């Protein structure tokens, strides 16, 4: 396996992703991991991620220096390269020559790390600092116009470094570099496949849960359906599934989800809780996005706890709360490392401090497409697996500003039309996610000779691989026109429809 030390870089997860895609298991661990713990992983290679700090900064994230003496090959990426330079007697220049975006890499020598690369390659840079002085016994492999030491290696010590990010797709030969490190330098074996993982997960769940029981929230989404199914395989009737209707679901969704769990999966314990009035009451007058997310998250757990208390009187031993959290949820809530910056609090991981249940998240290391593959293996039907992701806080974060019954009705109707047309035209399966959002502004229009003053709807459809980056879907104009016409004609309260053409980053997929 390849161990990745996380120094807080936003693309750290992508390194793990790429390595796993090469067929080698990889895990991300905090950068301050001890030597003893590293020993337990028995890694073939170690990768040091990038990060937002400067190596000489007070409290900058660091690692045990002795990791570099273990004889295990180490590849430093960006901040990781700078740390290797610092530890090995080189020096790092702070904040002088910042570089962001695509750059041309001039390869002087291929060495082991850049094997197979041409003299000039496109790479993606994102750094404020750079290595100024090369440590003794290291060789420079490549540079850019403004960064003299863009890649280095020391084959005796098995230390390697690149200033650019091999893990992002804009570094065109990034995969080749990672392959060189993983197979050629580290000699890792290609033996990891999602297929091998369900057995391991089942074993782990059994061990963790022991004689206790798990209560789990299901939403009908891919993640919770896969998590619940794997959990069910592990502990069977000790799983209590609860579907909470928080009142912010899409049109028709409640019925669909109930049918799936009650009629198709036929879990022994499946409970439906209609908590819509509680949620809507708490959200009244709230328009701040983070506030909404917190209310949704906390209320969700409260409702659960109440259900647990009720179930505990009947059945003993419910000690765990199962969740379908996947890896990107945790990254964006800045959970994997204290050094990453927070972007949004994700619903699944915004837990109240005094929660009495222990959280169990079988999918927390997986990406969405891996979860889908796992689901396929567990024979979960395609209509569930191919469903677009739907955020935990539901429509609350797609109604910008205050949530009212009227706005909720408008959004539900519009979203339904949008999705219906996407499905009819075959574009639903070609997009990663699509939905309507209601903007908190009204605009003037004219309908049947009369002035209207009504809401604006924004349609968002994106393509993506793992939700970490996303592009707007290039839907045909005629389709957009048809959808817009239907919405304006059929939904009372809307007189203007926009199509969102922003990418992530810098935008996010959701609006709040
Ligand atoms: P953003 O808006 O961060 O969304 O680009 C990335 C993906 O995550 C989904 N999302 C959530 N999923 N709980 C979830 O379970 C949440 O709080 C949440 N917020 C966003 C979003 O729909 C997209 O697929």
pLDDT at position 370 = 85
For the chain, list residues with pLDDT below 70: 95-97, 331-355
For ligand 1, atom 4, name the residue with the nearest CA: 509
317: which residues sit within 8 A by CB, 6+ positions away?
211, 212, 213, 238
**Is-catalytic flag, 232?**
no
**Is-catalytic flag, 165?**
yes
Distance CA 74, CA 153 (A): 10
Structure-block tokens of residue 143: 């540079």
Instruction: Identify the CATH assignment for 2-185 out of 3.40.1390.10, 3.40.190.10, 3.40.50.720, 3.40.50.880.
Output: 3.40.50.880
504 close to ligand 1 (CB < 6 Angstrom):
yes
Architecture, CATH, for domain 404-499: 2-Layer Sandwich (3.30)
In the chain, ranges of CATH 3.40.50.620 domains: 197-385
In the chain, ranges of CATH 3.30.300.10 domains: 404-499
Per residue in 379-423, pLDDT (tens digit) is 898 888 888 989 989 999 999 999 999 999 999 999 999 999 999
- For tokens 């007058």, the residue is 285
pLDDT at position 316 = 85
- Are the C-beta atoms of residues 501 and 472 closer than 8 Å to each other? yes
Closest to 83 (Cα-Cα) out of 97, 62, 99, 69: 62
CA of 346 to the centre of ligand 1 (A): 7
387 close to ligand 1 (CB < 6 Angstrom):
no
433 close to ligand 1 (CB < 6 Angstrom):
yes
pLDDT at position 341 = 58
CA of 96 to the centre of ligand 1 (A): 36
Instruction: Give the other-Cβ count within 10 Å of 322's Cβ.
Output: 29
Bridge partners for 6 per DSSP: 30
pLDDT at position 352 = 47
In the chain, ranges of CATH 3.40.50.880 domains: 2-185
- Are the C-beta atoms of residues 389 and 240 closer than 8 Å to each other? no
pLDDT at position 336 = 44
**Is-catalytic flag, 127?**
no
CATH T-level fold of 197-385:
Rossmann fold (3.40.50)
- For tokens 């990745």, the residue is 4
Distance CA 324, CA 360 (A): 9
């Amino acid at each position: 396996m390849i161990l990745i030390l996380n120094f807080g870089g936003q693309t750290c997860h992508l390194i793990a992703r790429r390595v796993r895609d090469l067929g080698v298991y990889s895990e991300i661990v905090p950068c301050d991991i001890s030597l003893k713990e590293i020993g337990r992983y028995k890694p073939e290679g170690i990768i040091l991620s990038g990060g937002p700090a400067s190596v000489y900064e007070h409290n900058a994230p660091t690692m045990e220096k002795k990791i570099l003496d273990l004889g295990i090959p180490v590849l430093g990426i960006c901040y990781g390269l700078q740390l290797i330079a610092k530890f090995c007697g080189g020096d790092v220049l702070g904040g002088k020559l910042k570089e962001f975006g695509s750059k041309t890499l001039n390869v002087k020598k291929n060495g082991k790390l850049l094997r197979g690369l041409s003299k000039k390659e496109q790479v993606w840079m994102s750094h404020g600092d750079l290595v100024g002085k090369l440590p003794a016994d290291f060789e420079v492999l490549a540079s850019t116009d403004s960064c003299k030491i863009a890649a280095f290696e020391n084959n005796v010590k098995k230390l390697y470094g690149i200033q650019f990010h091999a893990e992002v797709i804009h570094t065109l030969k990034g995969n080749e570099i990672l392959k060189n490190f993983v197979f050629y330098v580290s000699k890792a074996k290609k033996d990891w496949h999602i297929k091998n993982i369900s057995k391991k997960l089942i074993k782990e769940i059994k061990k963790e849960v022991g004689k206790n029981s798990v209560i789990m929230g299901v939403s009908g989404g891919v993640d919770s359906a896969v998590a619940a199914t794997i959990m069910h395989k592990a502990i069977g009737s000790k799983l209590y599934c609860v579907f909470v209707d928080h009142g912010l679901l899409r049109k028709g969704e409640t019925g669909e989800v109930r049918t799936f769990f009650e009629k198709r999966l036929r879990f022994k314990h499946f409970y439906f809780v209609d908590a819509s009035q509680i949620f809507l009451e708490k959200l009244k007058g709230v328009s701040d996005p983070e506030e909404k997310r917190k209310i949704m998250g906390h209320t969700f757990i409260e409702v659960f706890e109440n259900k647990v208390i009720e179930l505990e009187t009947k059945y003993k031993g419910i000690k765990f709360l199962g969740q379908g959290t996947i890896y990107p949820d945790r990254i964006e809530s800045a959970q994997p490392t204290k050094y990453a910056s927070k972007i949004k609090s994700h619903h699944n991981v915004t837990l109240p401090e005094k929660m009495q249940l222990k959280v169990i998240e079988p999918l927390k290391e997986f990406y969405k497409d891996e979860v889908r593959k796992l689901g396929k293996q567990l024979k979960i039907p395609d209509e569930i697996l191919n469903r677009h992701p739907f955020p935990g806080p539901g429509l609350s974060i797609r109604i910008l500003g205050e949530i009212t019954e009227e706005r909720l009705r408008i959004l539900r109707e519009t979203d339904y039309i949008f999705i219906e047309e996407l499905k009819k035209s075959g574009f639903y399966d070609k997009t990663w996610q699509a939905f309507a959002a209601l903007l908190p502004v009204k605009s003037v229009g004219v309908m049947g000779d009369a002035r209207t003053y009504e809401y604006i709807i924004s349609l968002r459809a994106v393509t993506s691989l793992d939700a970490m980056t996303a592009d707007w879907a290039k839907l045909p104009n005629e389709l957009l026109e048809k959808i817009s016409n239907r919405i304006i004609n059929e939904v009372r309260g809307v007189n203007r429809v926009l199509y969102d053409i922003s990418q992530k980053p810098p935008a996010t997929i959701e609006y709040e």
